[in-house]
Amino acid sequence: MISDDIYFGGFDAESWSTLLGLLGLGRREARGAIVIVERDDGTAAAALHTLTGAIACEDYSGRQALDALCARHDAERALVIKLGAPETLTERLTHELPRDADYFTQWLAMLGVLRAGQREGLWTIHPARRPLPLPRPATVSAALDRVLPDGHAWLVCIWEGDQLCTAAALRRMHGCIDMLVGPDAILDWTGPLGGDFRRDHRALAGAVRRALAPLHMGVFAQRSTLEALLANPAPGAWAAAIAVRDVIIDPAPPYVAVAAGADVARAAVQRARDLFGDLELLSLVEPTASFLRRQIGSLGSVTETLGFNPLQVLAERLSRRD
Amino acid sequence: MGLSMLRAPMPARRPSARPKRASAAVLNRGALQLDGREVPLWSGALHYFRTERGHWRRALESLRELGLCMVESYVPWGLHETVDGGFDFGARNPNLDLPAFIDLAGELGLWVFLRPGPHINAELTRFGLPARVLDDPRCQALGRDGQPVVLPAPPRAFPVPSFASHEFRRQSRHWLETFARQVTPKLYPNGPVVLLQVDNEAAFYFRDHAYDQDYHPDAIEAYRAFVKQRHGSLEQVRARYALESLESWDALQPPQRFDAVDAQGLVRHLDWSWFQQSLVQDALSDQVSVLRRALGRQVPLVHNLPMGDAALPHSIRAVQSTLDAVGLDYYHAGRSVTPIRDRTLRLASASALPFAPELGVGAPPWFGPRRDRDALFIALCACAFGLRGMNLYMAVDRDRWFGAPIAADGGPRSAAEPWRRLLSALRALRFHSLERRTEIALQLPREYAHLARVTHALGSLSPNLFGLAGLPLGATSLAERFGFAEDIQRRWAPVLDAWMARLQNAGLPFALVDSDAPLPAGTRVLIAPCYELADATRVAELQRFVDAGGQLLYGPQRPSLDGVLAPLDAPALGGAAQRLDDPALQAASIDAWLGEAALQRPFLASPAPVFSSVHVDADGEPRVVFLIQPMPGFVEAQVALPRALELRDVLTDQRFAGEHTATVPMVGPGCRMLEVCEPQTDSSPPSGAEP
């Protein structure tokens, strides 16, 4: 799913950092974590805080004490690893790594080894996090066929005032993601822009279509609009932004229409709850529910194939601003 | 305290380039010396093989306009080698025409710095090595289970080569000889090529935990030879390793996991780590020999060590043993001064030319976000602590990179302007020739670094990674005492960190010195962690320092055992061992150094934590003051002036003048590079002038 020859380019430091910032990537844990290396008898062989260094561990009394330990050292969480577990997991990985597979598949294999180690108790994280199910490579590939069909591209363009502040075009070709290009390259293809994203988006989409591949989805918006939507995704806000063209999605694949519809439904339910409590909710949302039922086949197939709802996971990821 | 000892400065022992036979290009005095012409290492990276050939000229011109005098490029073995076993240097793919690229750079007045590997990384798939070599089991490094050692680097995990493998060395030799045939006619003085680097970031391909590798048969053979040379006889090995059943050298196996429970058990593990240092030295030495022989002409050879190098088995000095200089790479995230300070101070004392072969301007996409101003901050901070040359990596944008100041088509980006100003100032001030003088040095004992490494408790989660996160060596080590009074491996590094914090706040400049590197000239005070176990050579050096009149602070133990746990003759060391981690001792010592000993604090900055770093010319005249505010927030810093002077910010051209002090606004974390100037005589009042 990721080409050996993947091309990445066309970003300056600001455009790449802005893009990652919008996606919520690159943030650091403010308080750090504690790492305990635990012997088989449950005592600690070593302990450290990821921000300050070694910490005393002679009085470590087992995993039931992790809450107190985190509080004492002002740590966000604790990671407990059995002594020798990293070596064991590394060797298992070497055995199980599909050498000829692509990088994504190799990473799934690595995550599989780690997950198995967690189930065996070789390592644990506290407080426990809800683990995402690990799909098989074939299922991810099938889901990707729907999200970004082969021979197509995604385009995201973000403006700050009349300037394009970041952009990214992602292409899938011969089954693999093979290009991620930034604003430098995209602007080379379009030439000078007018400065109004509601008009410029057609030129951008057309240029990427000609240079890379037919677009499967294009997202165009002002940075401030997008940041506000990501920071405070109030019910209906996305749908409203799309309706008034504060966010332009063009082309919009079925799953985006479904997500927008779901957002309308969520807003309606919230509004109804505010006005009427929980009475007659179903009748109030019936028009939206009917729409969703018509579209659900598309969303359902993605969710069924993956084993989880990617939009839900994405929404959670994007709204996690802590 | 013995303050009288402070009055006699130490005899000068400065690191310098090793003497070479008469040659056209040599590294010396912070620069390349080309028959009387001095060329400082202000260089920028442009990958000819990734830049469209039609853009080469414009990109090189932009690079020159940035103020760089040298272009650097990797030379990728894996791209030049063709599937039929031949090599393409432009006959088939014009982008691979290395000779034409060199000629063009020369035509445009640029010197050329080439890095042919064999390993180059460069974010290339398989780090630029041919797949056929990596897939050859004879070339692969092996883990303790006999399986290849795999590096999960994007965009494809691959088995890493063995530094010991005879077959890998043979294949590498063939590549380096091929490269040399292309480059020899282009070497100075016949061409612009003036600097070459062997290999890249020799760090066991980031699988550098002590027991990750290498258990290749050739490595085990080399390990046995190393142990034999170190201990002499099988009998000694039996005794020191407590291996009574060891019948022959062939039966000697390297340790596969850390299993020592007492001090005696440490010897075998420490030896393994020292062996890994010698393995890297030997591999690089092999490449140096091949290149020197194949080139047939003298050209300086250098190497670069990666981020987190303090956790590697090999020191800067050890790697430099067969090279002209060793540099360190800078890819720090965020704006933390301490890691840049520690890294640069170690480099400045150990390398014949403290330079950054890769000063990250931008980064690969998987490094996470980085802003333009962060790269500039790193460059300024590194210069503040003694960096004398740098290669902007990348100067020209390319595949799998973001943030270079010059776009892939050769046009300058807006981020280029501050770099142009900085480089202009570095050139004008002859910054490469300046020096940062110190009277206090802190010693990093190599044997404790090895001990921290072998006792690392997180296996393949390399200590290197934790070093990158800013943790001291030993933070990930086992909390075991092995019969000593303390868990040495976890204690020694934080002691030095505490001293450095205090000295910095007191405004006392200091050096940080690996124990196998020479002390800077003028060192009057040396702070050296010592425990029961200490390397005999280091202890002898400490004694020599004391005998020459220097003041030594050591402790908390007087060493009694050497590196192989043999009894050490009790050294005098100028007095009793002290608890170096005692805050009262630290405070009293600093008071004494500022009082009777009168150690120098030029251009003292306040309020703490703001501090200054002063660089003087050969006559001792201050030329540059770096002012650093390591903490977030705004502060009006006061800088003490020796007389009426003006300080000019080389990036903003702001001027701050005064009779006795200058007031300089600082937004932290931030660093200003201030040129020391005579006061302006015109009537316009400078910014920041005293009321």
Q: What is the 3-state secondary structure (H, E, C) of B321-341?
A: HHCCEEEECECCCCCCHHHHH
User: End-to-end CA distance of chain B, in Å?
Assistant: 42
- The shortest C-alpha distance from B311 to chain A (Å) reads 14
End-to-end CA separation in angstroms for chain A: 31
Q: From CA B279, how far away is CA B21, in angstroms rounded? A: 27
Whether B402 has its CB under 8 Å from any CB of chain A: the answer is yes
Judging by DSSP bridges, how do beta strands A247-249 and A44-49 pair with one another? Answer: unpaired
Within 8 A of B370 by CB-CB distance, chain A residues are 13, 17
Do the Cβ atoms of A183 and A15 come closer than 8 Å? yes
The yes-or-no verdict on residue B344 having pLDDT over 90 is yes
**Range with lowest mean pLDDT among B306-315, B459-468, B554-563, B578-587:** B459-468
Average pLDDT over residues A284-293: 45
A59 touching B, CB under 8 A? no
pLDDT at position B24 is: 75
Backbone angles phi, psi at B22, to 5 degrees: -55, 130
pLDDT confidence of A309, banded at 50, 70, 90? low
Best to test chain B binding among A4, A48, A83, A97 (most B CBs inside 10 Å): A48
Q: Which amino acid is at B67?
A: G
Residues A249, A205: Cα–Cα separation, whole Å = 11
Residue whose entry in the numeric block shows the structure tokens 């040396």: B526
Whether A273 shows a pLDDT value over 80: the answer reads no
Mean pLDDT, range A205-215, rounded to an integer? 96
Give the dihedral sign, CA B126/B130/B136/B137. negative
Q: In the numeric block, which tokens belong to residue B136?
A: 């050859």
Q: Determine the pLDDT at residue B4.
A: 35
Cβ-based contacts of B339 with chain A (< 8 Å): none
Burial call A209-232: b when 16+ CB within 10 Å, e when fewer: bebbbebbbbbbbbbebbeebbee
Q: Give B161's pLDDT tier (boundaries 50, 70, 90).
A: very high
Q: Which of B155, B368, B471 has its CB closest to that of A48?
A: B471
Burial tier of B37 (Cβ tally within 10 Å: 0-12, 13-18, 19+): exposed
**pLDDT for the residue numbered A138:** 86
- pLDDT over 90 for what percent of chain A? 53
CA distance, residue A37 to nearest chain B CA (Å) = 7
Q: How far apart are CA B317 and CA B576, in angstroms?
A: 30
H or E element, residue B661: strand B661-677
A54 at interface of B, judged by CB pairs closer than 8 A: yes
Residue B569: predicted pLDDT: 86
pLDDT at B10: 37
Q: What is the C-alpha to C-alpha distance for residues A218 and A230, in angstroms, rounded to an integer?
A: 17
Q: What residues does B661 pair with on adjacent strands?
A: B640
Q: Is the pLDDT of residue B402 over 60?
A: yes
Does A163 contact chain B (CB < 8 Å)?
no
pLDDT digits (tens, 9 = 90+) for B71-116: 999 999 999 999 888 999 999 999 999 999 999 999 999 999 999 9
φ and ψ at residue B351, rounded to 5 degrees? -90, 145
Is the pLDDT score of B317 beyond 70? yes
Contact list in B for residue A15 (CB cut-off 8 A) is 402
B250: tokens are 């062939």
- Res B187 pLDDT > 70: yes
Interchain CB contact of A79 with B (< 8 Å) = no
Closest by alpha carbon to B416, among B658, B65, B155? Answer: B65
Residues 6+ apart with CB under 8 A from B608: B505
A with B: how many residue pairs have Cβ under 8 Å apart? 156
Give the integer Cα–Cα distance in Å for A50 and A56: 14
Residue found under tokens 């202890």: B539
Closest CA to B397 of B52, B130, B32, B163: B52
- Relative to beta strand B510-514, strand B551-556 is unpaired
Q: Which two tokens stand for residue B469?
A: 């996160």
Q: Where are the beta strands (DSSP E) in chain A?
A: 2-9, 33-38, 44-49, 53-54, 77-82, 123-126, 152-160, 163-173, 176-181, 215-222, 247-249
User: What's the pLDDT band for A284 if we cut at 50, 70, 90?
Assistant: very low
**pLDDT band, residue A303 (cuts 50/70/90):** low
Residue A292 pLDDT greater than 80, yes or no: no
Are B393 and B358 in contact by the 8 Å Cβ rule? The answer is yes
**CA B190 to centroid of chain Cα atoms:** 31
| AA letter at B260 | A
Q: What is the mean pLDDT of the segment spanning B301-330?
A: 95
Q: How confident is the model at residue A185 (pLDDT cuts 50, 70, 90)?
A: very high
The three-class DSSP label of residue A219 is strand
CA distance B194 to B173: 21
Q: What letter would DSSP give residue B61?
A: H
Per-residue pLDDT averaged across B204-217, rounded?
Answer: 96
Q: State mean pLDDT over B213-231.
A: 97
Tell me what the mean pLDDT of segment A173-177 comes to: 93
Q: Answer with the residue of higher pLDDT: B629 or A1.
A: B629
pLDDT at B124 over 70: yes
Burial of B295 (0-12, 13-18, 19+ CB in 10 A): buried
Average pLDDT over residues A47-61: 91
CA distance linking residue B587 with residue B499, whole number of Å? 10
Which of A13, A56, A106 lies closest to B403 in CB terms? A13
CA–CA distance, B385 with B376 (Å, rounded to integer): 15
The Cα A234–Cα A272 span in angstroms is: 14
Of the listed ranges A1-5, A71-75, B234-238, the one predicted with least confidence: A1-5
pLDDT digits (tens, 9 = 90+) for B577-609: 999 999 999 999 999 999 988 999 999 999 999
Arithmetic mean of pLDDT, A123-139:
86
B581: contact with A, CB 8 A cutoff: no
| B194: nearest Cα among B50, B43, B327, B65 | B43
The dihedral built from the CA positions of residue B382, B383, B385 and B388, taken in this order, carries a sign that is: positive
- Asked if B263 and B533 count as a contact pair (C-beta separation under 8 A), the reply is yes
Chain A: give the shortest CA distance to residue B136, in Å: 14
For residue B189, pLDDT beyond 50: yes
Percent over 70 (pLDDT), chain A: 79
Which two structure tokens, joined as six digits, stand for B68?
């760089």
Q: What is the ipTM of this complex?
A: 0.88
B442-499: pLDDT as tens digits: 999 999 999 999 999 999 898 888 888 889 999 999 999 999 999 999 999 999 999 9
Q: Which two tokens stand for residue A192?
A: 């000078």
Compute the half-sphere exposure of residue B5: CA atoms within 13 Å on the CB side of its CA: 20
Q: Give the model's confidence band at B9: pLDDT under 50 very low, under 70 low, under 90 confident, else very high.
A: very low
User: Which residues of chain B are within 8 Å of residue A22 when distances are taken between CB atoms?
Assistant: none
Residue B368 to residue A22: CA distance in whole angstroms:
13
DSSP summary character for residue B367: G
| HSE (side-chain half, CA atoms, 13 Å) at B186 | 25
The pLDDT value recorded for residue B1 is 35
Give B 198-217 residues with CB within 8 A of chain A: 211-212
* Arithmetic mean of pLDDT, A113-132: 90
- In this prediction, residues B494-505 reach a mean pLDDT of 97
Residue of A45, A81, A107 lying closest to B479 (CB–CB): A45
pLDDT over 50 (residue A282): no
Query: What residue has token string 């302990």?
Result: A47
Q: Which residues contact A149 (CB under 8 A, 6 or more apart)?
A: A172, A216
pLDDT averaged over chain B? 93
Say yes or no for a CB contact (<8 Å) between A12 and B372: yes
> Number of C-alpha atoms within 13 angstroms, CB side, residue B338?
20
With H, G, I as helix, E, B as strand and everything else as coil, classify residue A108.
helix
Of B186, B182, B124, nearest in space to B151 by CA: B124
- B588 near B576, Cβ under 8 Å? no
CA distance A143 to chain B (A): 21
Element holding B142 (H helix, E strand): none
Chain A residues lying within 8 Å of B367, measured CB to CB: none
Q: Which residues of B touch A99 (CB under 8 A)?
A: 157
Residue A214 and residue A251 in contact, taking contact as beta carbons nearer than 8 Å: no
Tell me what pLDDT residue B597 has.
Answer: 86
Rounded to whole angstroms, the Cα distance separating B219 from B136 reads: 16
- Residue pair B300/B196 in contact by the 8 Å Cβ criterion: yes
* Token pair for B442: 């802190």
Residue A189 CA to residue A207 CA, distance in Å, equals: 6
pLDDT at position B335 is 84
Q: Distance (Å, rounded) from C-alpha B271 to C-alpha B254?
A: 9
H helix or E strand, kind and range, residue A241: helix A237-243
Q: Contacts of residue B156 in chain A, CB cutoff 8 Å?
A: 4, 102-103, 106
B417 contact A CB<8A: no
Provide the token pair at B165: 């493998």
User: How sure is the predictor about B504, in pLDDT bands with cuts at 50, 70 and 90?
Assistant: very high
Nearest CB to A26 within list B368, B375, B469: B368
pLDDT of residue B35: 87
Nearest one of A165, A88, A137 to B414, comparing CA atoms: A165
**Measuring CA to CA, how many Å separate B235 from each of B239, B241, B242, B244, B645?**
6, 10, 10, 9, 69
Say whether A45 and B211 touch across the interface (CB within 8 A). no
3-state secondary structure at position A297: helix
**B254: enclosing H helix or E strand:** none
Least confident of B218-227, B362-371, B415-424: B362-371
Judged by CB atoms closer than 8 Å, whether chains meet at A50 and B477 is answered as: no
SS3 B659: coil
Q: Which chain A positions have a beta carbon within 8 Å of B149's beta carbon? A: 94
Residue with tokens 């902007």: B392
Q: Does B490 touch chain A (CB under 8 A)?
A: yes
Per DSSP, B10 falls in state P
For the segment B630-654, what is each residue's pLDDT rounded down to a tens digit?
Answer: 999 999 999 999 999 999 999 999 9
B581: preceding bond cis by omega (within 30 degrees)? no
